[in-house]
Amino acid sequence: MQIGLTLPVQNMNFFPARSGGFNCNGSASPLKAWSRNVNARCATMKAVSTTKMTRKHLSSLEKLLQKESEPSPPEDVQVEDVNKVTQKSPEKENKGRGFLENLNLSRVWPESKAAEEVSPRHLVRLKRMLSISNQYSPRNILASKWREYHGCNNWEGLLDPLDENLRREMVRYGEFIQAAYHCFHSDPATSEGHANVDRHVAVPDRAYRVTKNLYATSSVGLPKWVDNVAPDLGWMTQRSSCVGYVAVCEDQREIARMGRRDIVIALRGTSTCLEWAENMRDLLVEMPDQHNTGEANEVQSISKVECGFLSLFKTGGAQMPSLSESVVSEIHRLMEMYKGETLSITVTGHSLGAALALLVADELSSSAPNMPPVALFSFGGPRVGNKGFANRLNKKNVKVLRIVNSQDVITRVPGMFVSEELDKKIRDSSVGANVLNVLDNNMPWAYSHVGTELRVDTKMSPFLKPNADVACCHDLEAYLHLVDGFLASNCPFRSNAKRSLVKLLNEQNSNVKKLYTNKAKALTLKLNPQREILQMPSCLPSPST
């Protein structure tokens, strides 16, 4: 395009040609002829109206500004779509659009600017929470109040609002359960014909040492021909599997901080097909030692538990003892080893592990005359027994703290979907209590929860979707995320939460709000091009390193 088409021609006489400076050899300069032609052309154009040329100039400028190169189609657009795009009329596309819109600023805006709704303060917080290493709350000295944190007063005054020391202890016990999951998934196969082999457990707290692996055995099994047809699926048909471990604190500074030597029993959730089969056996059965304790004479105190849970707890393998025998013998051995010291027993479990943890606590509390105080921290635990079983644990002074997600359906099964608050109100009345006691002793699905409850909610997290699926609401990492951010029942998620979001993003990416997944991707591209920031290590740090 020539520039002369957009400039007023009559203004050219303002720039007369000067030939003196170009007359190098004294001959007539060719610029003189060009100047004469321009002057002649200008003389002939004087009759042209200035208004007409101005309109022509503005029209040319408008066409120049509206003309836009066709953008290249995105990579995921099909060929047919590209043809449709190229056939569109530029006049229709640009009609009614201004100059700034035609610049297409969205194409030049960096992709790392996604989710710009995140404020700078929240962006720094998100960047910190996307670091691989967790940032723990300070380890305050609990020696003078350790019995309160261990539940001697049923955690009264420590749950709402949540005490920061108790929060840290709960998250720490939850990570013991994660180590039990890692231990099982690293080698799920267990030979039924041989004795159990000790396997390495990478406990998250280096102050503790694992002393024994615990195994659970199912009383049901699949036919032998299943192994012949599908030998690669042997881990699905195995009856015995590693379900947890026992660990003891051996660090003297940690013992001084906690005020006692703590023994931890950590139990994982359901991981094999036969364990799922045991979960479905939801009829209530009486405890084996019911008549030995004299409780059968009291109608209101008949203790019953789920058949499947009791089976996994009491059944032994061909070459291995039952979970009940293993845990009792190991605790007695540790009590004898550390005789004379102040001890505590902390049982913790998730899902099926929470149910087995109740049976373990019940068994240990009456297995020796001088048993240390027993406390239980459960995450997403189902109902285990009836009201008589709950009364039995209360009489044995077993302290139970249940961490429950309001959106987790597993915490409302098995049994009838009856509100715990309604059940308490009915039992407080004399007539209603007698009716419910009769139902507890005669109905096969009259389940009741045990202990003190700490209720969290997926909807309180600013990172998780309010409509997160069942798997996310029951996930252990989601539980630890909610506990770490919980302040009180009437308060939002705490802004100074310490727990990393890496594992949560890996396992529940589809349930994390898109705003944060986009920002996490942008931060990943900026901070680590290889995207190693969202990768979890294959195993937890070993205490021996």
Active site residues: 351, 408, 474
Phi, psi angle pair for 107, to nearest 5°: -80, -30
For 243, the enclosing helix (H) or strand (E) is: strand 240-249
CA-closest candidate to residue 458, choices 420, 514, 405, 380: 405
Amino acid identity for residue 403 in this structure: I
Asked whether the beta carbons of 204 and 155 are under 8 A apart, the reply is: no
The encoded tokens of residue 385 equal 């027994």
The dihedral region occupied by 378, where left means phi > 0, alpha psi between -120 and 50, and beta the remainder, is: beta
Strands (E), 250-398: 261-267, 284-286, 304-306, 343-350, 374-379
For 527, the enclosing helix (H) or strand (E) is: helix 514-527
CA pseudo-torsion sign 285, 288, 293, 294? positive
Asked whether the beta carbons of 212 and 245 are under 8 A apart, the reply is: yes
Asked whether the beta carbons of 436 and 424 are under 8 A apart, the reply is: no
Q: How far is residue 530's CA from residue 545's CA, in Å, rounded to a whole number?
A: 27
Amino acid identity for residue 248 in this structure: V
The encoded tokens of residue 108 equal 């030049």
Q: How far is residue 171's CA from residue 500's CA, in Å, rounded to a whole number?
A: 12
Alpha helices in 243-292 (DSSP H): 252-258, 273-279
Strand bridging mode 374-379 / 343-350: parallel
Residues making up the chain, counted from first to last: 545
Strand arrangement of the beta sheet that strand 399-405 belongs to: 208-217, 240-249, 261-267, 343-350, 374-379, 399-405, 452-456
Helices (H) and strands (E) in the chain, counts: 23, 9
As a dihedral over the C-alpha atoms of residue 379, residue 383, residue 386, residue 388, rounded to 10 degrees, the angle is -10
Amino acid identity for residue 242 in this structure: C
Q: How far is residue 198's CA from residue 215's CA, in Å, rounded to a whole number?
A: 10
Asked whether the beta carbons of 115 and 522 are under 8 A apart, the reply is: yes
The dihedral region occupied by 104, where left means phi > 0, alpha psi between -120 and 50, and beta the remainder, is: left
Asked whether the beta carbons of 399 and 152 are under 8 A apart, the reply is: yes
